[in-house]
Chains A and B, each alone.
Chain A
Amino acid sequence: MQTYKAFLKIALKNYPSVIIYFVVFMIVAIMATSQGKESEKELYKDEEISFTVFNRDGSALGEAIKDYLSVKNTYVEVADNEEAIRVALYYRDIYYAVIVPEGFEEAVASGKDMELMNYKVTNTSVGYYMDMYIENYMKTLKSYIVADNDMETAIKKTLDTLKNSVDVQLVADINNSGITGNPMATSTISDDKPMYYYFYQYIPYIFLAIVITGMGPILITFGKKDVKMRINVSAQSFKSYGVQMFLGIVTFGAVIMGIFNILAYVLYGSTISMTAFVCYLILTLCFLLVCLGITYFAGFVFSKSDVMGGFANVVSLGFSFLGGVFVPLEFLGSTIKNIARLTPTYWYIKANDVIVGVEKFSDLNMEAFMKNCGILVLYALAFFCIGLAVLRYKREEA
């Protein structure tokens, strides 16, 4: 087992670079899982906007607009004169004032053009959102009126429709490129996800970085022309050498996988179900195979450890940014998302979304999980095959 022992010795001597990645990951993961989630909640929590409505029309529609805006915002009583409105806006007692002009309901009912008037605080996004919010309401209302509903019915249906929209949550709708739902109601983006979800979300980055950085130089060392020649002329059979190298790679992979999964269980064991944990073991194994495949391929392409280090950074960061590790998939544009499909990280993240929250196997969308894991295995095979092709090409060149 000389080659196996030498493999491990060289791996241990490369540990400083691996340790750096591990420590940085731990700090980032723990910070992200403990604080990141809170900050994300904070970022997307409801923002109540102070507003007022002057129903100069005295109509039911004016009252309906006031009621609709009050669902998510705070109505403030202000005297109906321009001076009072300007003072309220200046002191931020209100951010938005809607004026329903006389004859507004009648105009709307008869399909005539009459605009609502408004005052708003300038240089903030609040006015823009309120404009959109009201525009959305009016468009919906007008569509019901056009459909031969009387005003009372149209108001009721509009409120019902928009209430449903208000309740829409921004979920991981990866098939849709944009943000869904009402922009004023992005209240629940992923905030029900457990902490282990975030831990496993960052695994692709750290696996790619550690496996390529830690194992790449070992493969380069054993692949050096003269060392390889000396091994080839020795009494150790090619088969024995191959088996020992394979064992070395398996040991390296098992240690990496073991450390991170044990760590996940230690940190989040109380919140993660055994079913989800088993799924994560399978998922991380599949992704580890991808990492080993990439490293195997790179080991034949690059001959210097420094170059391999650069390659590790490009691949780990590139795949992570594109594949939704650092930026949630729902925030990626459709073009980027199409490119992301070409990365293994994308399929890992999809599988992570399938696993999260699963309590028992019957809860698991097995088809989606198996499909994502299967794609990862295919990626691994593809990289191994490319590696073999490069090896063959190099042998023919020699």
Chain B
Amino acid sequence: MSKVVEVENLVKRYKELVALDHFNLEIEEGEIFGLLGPNGSGKSTTISCILGLLKYDKGSIKVFGKTMDASSYDIKKDIGVVLQNVAVFDELTVQENIDYFCGLYINDKALRKQYVEEAIAFTGLEEFRKFQPKKLSGGLLRRLNIACGIAHKPKLIFMDEPTVAVDPQSRNKILEGIQELNKNGATIIYTSHYMEEVEQICTRIAIMDQGKNLAIGTKEQLKDMIKTGEMIQAEILDAADDLIDKVKELPHVYKAEYVDNHLKVHYTKGQRNLVRLIDFFKNNDVSFGRVYSELPTLNDVFLEITGKELRD
């Protein structure tokens, strides 16, 4: 697979603040690539630099193997952008808006008409084509925002937090749509601070903080990078200190604590932890209720790498 985006040693400063600090990134064709990081981590700055909206101080950016800058219109024609805020004309209807933004890429009138119809159908806006944006709900507005960004069938789509302030139903529809676009051949760069979304749809993820690329890989690879493995919780009415000490001596356990009638046991990587813990309870005559096993999340990855929560 060819490389669609190549970012090398990118440095971007806003006066004293270093927004991007020797940032590196490579994105392959056909990926849904997630850029994950808290607000202010440099996600939007990265995208703005790649799109030629911002000048950068050092480094190089290539898109489709060509150097990208503000006037690379031959590259831009294959790029679609779905911005975080809804960027449409309030005075134009749904159809007119999609037609306008599609027309910035497609000159052929008949082809454009076809693409606009397909974008309307793809986002389920058929009934609302004559509506002005003011009359649309938040979810429909987001769909219109997406339709304006993808109507010209781009090969590379940037999606900057497209599900912010969207109800769960619309969010699922949007995420399904993104996966469908990917199936149709588009490479997608997806930024979000919702780790669940990134985990759900992205094939590869980069974790950013303070303008740096802290880790990159598939979600499994990222989770393998940290010492945290499984965490098992068990409902226990009373746990004496000696019982907790014994639990800590079990294989792979690095931390055990008793909080609110729950025994929480944290493991490093290892197999058969749940079976081993239940056997331990039986052998020591410990009465227990429900038992949960949780695998590490991207938030755990982020927490361990940066020492802070993703949503801090």
Binding site for B on A (CB under 8 A): 2-3, 5-6, 9-10, 13-14, 217, 221, 224-227, 229-238
Contacts and interface: CB of A to CB of B under 8 A. Distances in A.
Contacts of B96: 6, 9
Given A230-B101, A234-B105, A9 B83 contact: no
Interface of B: 51-53, 70-71, 73, 76-77, 79, 81, 83, 85-92, 96, 100-101, 103-105, 148-149
Given A234-B105, A235-B76, A235-B77, A227 B87 contact: yes
A165 to B, nearest CB: 62
A233 B52 contact: yes
Contacts of A230: 81, 83, 87, 101, 148-149
A237 B91 CA distance: 23
Nearest to B74: A235
Contacts of B149: 230
17 contacts: A5-B100, A6-B89, A6-B100, A13-B92, A14-B91, A217-B91, A226-B85, A226-B86, A227-B88, A230-B81, A230-B87, A230-B149, A231-B104, A232-B53, A234-B101, A235-B105, A236-B105
Given A10-B92, A236-B105, 5 more contacts: A226-B83, A226-B87, A230-B101, A235-B76, A237-B73
Contacts of A6: 89, 92, 96, 100
Nearest to A221: B89
Q: Is chain A's binding surface mostly helix, strand, loop or mixed?
A: helix
Given A230-B83, A233-B52, A221 B101 contact: no
Contacts of A229: 53, 81, 83, 87
B217 to A, nearest CB: 28
B252 to A, nearest CB: 49
Contacts, number: 66
Contacts of B51: 233
B76 A234 contact: yes
Contacts of B83: 226, 229-230
A146 B264 CA distance: 121
A234 B71 contact: no
A31 to B, nearest CB: 34
A10 B77 contact: no
Contact of B81 (A3, A13, A224, A233): A233
Given A9-B96, A226-B83, A234 B91 contact: no
A17 B179 CA distance: 45
Nearest to A241: B104
Most chain A Cβ neighbours within 10 Å, of B85, B89, B96: B89
Contacts of A237: 71, 73
Given A229-B83, A230-B148, A2 B104 contact: yes
Contacts of A13: 91-92
Contacts of A14: 91
Contacts of B71: 237-238
Contacts of A224: 87
Contact of A221 (B53, B91, B148): B91
Closest 9 CB pairs of A and B: A226-B87, A2-B103, A234-B104, A235-B77, A236-B104, A230-B87, A10-B91, A13-B91, A226-B85
A237 B11 CA distance: 26
A235 B104 contact: yes
A9 B104 contact: no
Contacts of A235: 73, 76-77, 104-105
Contact of B92 (A9, A217, A236): A9
Contacts of B100: 2, 5-6
Nearest to A2: B103
A323 B6 CA distance: 61
B285 to A, nearest CB: 64
Contacts of A238: 70-71
Contacts of A10: 89, 91-92
Nearest to B158: A233
A9 B90 CA distance: 12
A173 to B, nearest CB: 49
A217 B77 CA distance: 29
A13 B133 CA distance: 14
Contacts of B103: 2
A5 B51 CA distance: 26
A236 B79 CA distance: 12
